[in-house]
Structure 1
Amino acid sequence: MRQQLAVLVVLLVTLSTIGPAVAGATTAPNAAVQESDSQCEYPLTMTDATGEEVTIESEPESVVTLYPGDAQLAYSIGAEGKVVGMPVSEYTESLDAGDRTDITGDDGVTPVAEEIVALNPDVVLAANIATFNEDLLQTLDDAGITVVVLDTATSLDDVRENVRVTGQVTGECAGAEETIDWMDERLEIYEDALENESEPLAYYDGGENGDTHGTETFQHEVMTTAGLTNLAASVGQTGWGQMNAEVVVDEDPEWIVYPDRTAEPPSADSLEETTAITEGNVVAVDDNAMSQPGPNVVYAIETIIEQVHPEVYAEIEAELEASGEPGNGSGNDTDEDQSDDSAIPGFGVPVALVALLATAGFVARRR
């Protein structure tokens, strides 16, 4: 069992690097959709992350979002009216689930095939992690349910593409393009404001075991877009992996960024000799915003800018407020009394771990 668990953890920390090449295909939207001035056209044929060609004959009227991050994508583009089933749990509590069916087991993450089949949706939208649950995908296929599995996002461009594909799959192409425009507007504001600013060395402390991200991850671009130099990338790391604390201390980052699921950087005790710890230069970012490849990644960038480049943030704050929220989505609730665990819905690293363990039989599924 320990060996199985170790394999699953390795799968988890490398998940953000196993995109189209491992999945066997890239998303190939129908040309008519791309040329239709943001209006979806059907039938739509695409090749999803499983390498299978998927055809959607007509605009879907009912959609199931398989994981919390899929629900975030659907809501962010205004497709929530078509969602009939989704995870309803702490991971999506900032979304208005209403009377939608909870399609997960007791953990609030693991999809239950019987619940989905009973809904008989026109289409199921699934994050790439679904490729690890072959039994679920086979059950849905046997039931004649169309499933579109998204590619793993390894860059901000990939995040945009997943938003666009979600629009095509749900019939909300215009909403998807509006959300992408919203992302691009904010990203341009960040880029212009930081053009002449320094880029201090920073380490992303993702866990006590040294979990961190290098190049070929969208998290790397989150940090560099926020005006930081990613320590892991600077020492040659690609994708997600584990870094020895001694290496981090030797590199001596000026800043440490960490997920807000913990009260302080998970490796703070091992990194106490770094400039970041001795000077208190630490930034807590919303865990789901940082780990889930959806529109809300821009808020993770914004949080970092606010802490690392406060003068720059003060100059652009009014401009950011004017840009509003993404499409018809949930936006970023910044109320101080909001729970850190649920500020932004998504499919972050802790949630992914639960899903992977459940897929392997470590977490009991409701039958």
Structure 2
Amino acid sequence: MTVRQLFSAVLGVALIAGALLGSGIARAQGDDPTIQAGVIVQGEDGSVQTFCVTLDGNAPTGLDALEATGLDTLAEQSSMGATVCRLDGVGCTPPGDSCFCQCEGDGPCTYWSYFHLSDAGTWQFSIAGASAYAVQQGDVEGWWWRNTSDTSAAPPPALSFESICGAEAAFPRTVVDGMDHEMTLDTPPQHIASVTLGSDEILLDLVGPDRLLGVSYFADDPAISNISDRLDGIEHTDLSGDPELLISLDADLVVMASYSNPAALEQLEDAQVPVFALSEFNSVDEIRANIRLLGEVTGEETRADALIAEMDARLEAVQDAVAGEDPVRVLYYEPGGITYGPGSTVDEIINLAGGVNVVAEAGLEAYPLVDPEFVLSTDPDVVLVSGWFSGKDDPLGWFTSDPALGTLRAVQEGRVYAINAAHMTNVSQYIAQGVEDVAYALYPQAFPDLPMIATEEPAHD
């Protein structure tokens, strides 16, 4: 798409939006010295950030609201107001670049698009640049690093002002953890220790590294962790359930799990360590519940809602893409006969990706061990292999070179793939990546614009 084509498309959307919005420039403010507005920013990787900003009540603009988030912002002025060229390190850098440097030529066009949340709770494209749009008390502004050629991309979650700015509930507050234990916090915890990988991944996206005193030793392992490259600034990256170490941290919140050592939990409670335990981790619904619980205990309900909304949007996009495809029968397998059935997150990933889990077909339980005879008898269309738990460096080579397993139809047809273990076995919002990986492995024809990045090369050409 050329820049001229981009502006033609933007003008067309603007004319439609104008009928819906009227003129935002003429809206008057009240007499209050300050106002509050919500700002939602969705970046190039689909991650969502939400901000409740306080602005001078004297005719603040959309650009004022964006700059109040603290994100690095580079804008270019025009007759229609400011156009945001670069935000939070993403975009173009005038004057060396055009503000629409990723819209030149006939290829895809990606730029920072600007929206306002309507009274109906839907996004409306802005007819004015950010510096020409007057923000009122209670408005919600949206910014999206949008690729116009990706029609399946989900826009930012349409969060209400109340969910963004009203979620900072008063402290002290009393919360109930996954084991029905009450905890009262006087202030939002600022020194949080996490002892499970699932809570590590959720908390890093909820509160950032500044409020994390420590994470589990799994978090530093890129083979199983989705956050191993984001741990800078976290003092401890080696936590386990060792109660003496956890007591010595003097954390104002320690996040554990119901399956943690009961004796360790009791010792921590006796030492009056503020322990918050999560319960179940076996389904997307339980992941949603854990994100909400951690949002509540940290005072970050808004970010929790945004994480859930982003995860759900990605899951919905996959299901829309594979709707109508003939179901593919699939086996997830790890060396040593490890697989997963109903009641496991792996089984739910396969189902959400549109596949049929042959382990569930066979009536097995959540965490069975199976032998080669079982694998041969199920004759899956696709086999997904991973080797983290077994320690195999090349699970794909191991599987396809096995004399018995190598006779499978899936091996002969080149439909055995090594899958990302961190995406498949997580119990956080990153489960959406596992669903995307599996859906693409099963139905590549439903994702013609995506490269085969989730899996390695098939077993045979």
- TM-score (ref. length: structure 1): 0.69
Q: Which whole-Å CA distance do the structure 2 matches of 1:120 and 1:57 have between them?
A: 16
SS of 1:93 mapped into structure 2: coil
Equivalent residues of 1:183, 1:295 under 8 A apart: yes
Q: How far off is 1:284 after superposition? A: 2.0
Counterpart position of 1:12: none
Partner of 1:154: 282
Q: Is the 8 A contact 1:191 1:225 kept in 2?
A: yes
Name the CA distance, whole Å, in 2 between partners of 1:288 and 1:187.
17
Please list, as runs of the form range in 1=range in 2, the aligned pairs for 1:1-367 lying within 5 A after superposition: 38-87=167-216, 89-90=220-221, 93-104=228-239, 110-130=240-260, 133-208=261-336, 210-259=337-386, 261=388, 262=392, 263-265=394-396, 267-268=399-400, 269=402, 270-314=404-448, 317=450
Contact 2:385 2:419 in 1 (8 A): yes
Q: Deviations over 1:294-313 (max 9, x none)?
A: 11111111122222211212
Contact 2:196 2:256 in 1 (8 A): yes
Larger radius of gyration: 2
Distance 1:157 1:254 in 2: 28
Partner Cα distance (1:65, 1:301) in 2: 25
Using the TM superposition, give the Cα deviation of residue 37 of structure 1 relative to its aligned residue in structure 2, in angstroms.
5.5
Q: Distance in 1 between matches of 2:258 and 2:230?
A: 21
Deviations 1:186-217 (A, max 9, x none): 11101111110111111110332x22111122
Opposite residue 441 of structure 2, the aligned amino acid is Q
Q: CA deviation at 1:221?
A: 1.1
Q: 3-state DSSP class of the match of 1:144?
A: coil
AA in 1 matched with 2:248: A
Deviations 1:2-38 (A, max 9, x none): xxxxxxxxxxxxxxxxxxxxxxxxxxxxxxx999964
Give the direction of change, closer, same or farther, for the CA distance of 1:119–1:219 in structure 2 (3 Å limit).
Answer: same
Counterparts of 2:187 and 2:422, CA distance in 1: 33
2:68 aligns with none
Offset, 1:137:
1.4
- Per the alignment, in what secondary structure is the counterpart of residue 174 of structure 1? helix
CA–CA separation in structure 1 for the residues paired with 2:169 and 2:195: 22
Does the Cα contact within 8 Å between 1:76 and 1:295 map onto a contact in 2? no
What is the distance in 2 between the residues matched to 1:62 and 1:169? 13
Alignment gaps of 5+ in structure 2: 1-161, 456-461
Q: TM-score, normalised by structure 2?
A: 0.55
Deviation at 1:174, TM superposition (A): 0.9
> What amino acid is the match of 1:212?
T
CA–CA distance in structure 2, aligned partners of residues 280 and 161 of structure 1:
39
| 8 Å Cα contact 1:205-1:212 kept in structure 2 | yes
Indicate the larger mover: 272-281 or 38-47. 38-47
Aligned residue for 2:335, secondary structure, equals: coil
Q: Secondary structure at the match of 1:212?
A: coil
Measured after TM superposition, the shift of residue 185 of structure 1 is 0.8
Give the C-alpha shift of residue 254 in structure 1.
Answer: 0.7
CA deviation profile, 1:99-157 (whole Å, cap 9, x unmatched)? 513453xxxxx333333222211111113431xx1232122212211111111222111
Separation in 2 of the partners of 1:94 and 1:71? 13
Q: Contact conserved, 1:103 with 1:112, CA < 8 A, in 2?
A: no
Instruction: Identify the structure with bigger relative contact order (alpha carbons < 8 Å, sequence gap 6+).
Output: 1
SS at match of 1:159: helix
Q: What displacement does 1:75 show?
A: 1.0
Contact 1:77 1:178 in 2 (8 A): no
What residue identity is the alignment partner of 1:253? P
When residues 48 and 214 of structure 1 are mapped into structure 2, their CA distance, relative to the original with a 3 A threshold, is same
Separation (CA, whole Å) in 2 of partners of 1:37 and 1:258 = 45
Q: CA RMSD, aligned part only? A: 2.8
Contact 1:63 1:170 survives alignment (8 Å)? no
Once residues 333 and 454 of structure 2 are traced to their aligned partners in structure 1, the CA distance between those partners, rounded to angstroms, is: 25
CA distance 1:314–1:129, shift in 2 (3 Å): farther
In the aligned structure 2, how far is the partner of 1:304 from the partner of 1:250? 22
Distance 1:43 1:218, change over 3 A: farther
The aligned amino acid for 1:113 is P
> What is the CA deviation profile of residues 280-327 of structure 1, one whole-angstrom value per residue up to 9, with x for unaligned ones?
212222212211201111111112222221121225x59xxxxxxxxx
Cα distance in structure 2, aligned partners of 1:203 and 1:77: 34
* CA distance 1:313–1:335, change in 2 (3 Å): closer
Q: Hey, what's the Cα distance between the residues in 1 that align with 2:433 and 2:359?
A: 22
Distance 1:247 1:335 in 2: 27
CA contact (8 A) 1:213 1:220 kept: yes
Q: Identity of aligned pairs, percent?
A: 23
The alpha carbon displacement at 1:42 in A equals 4.0
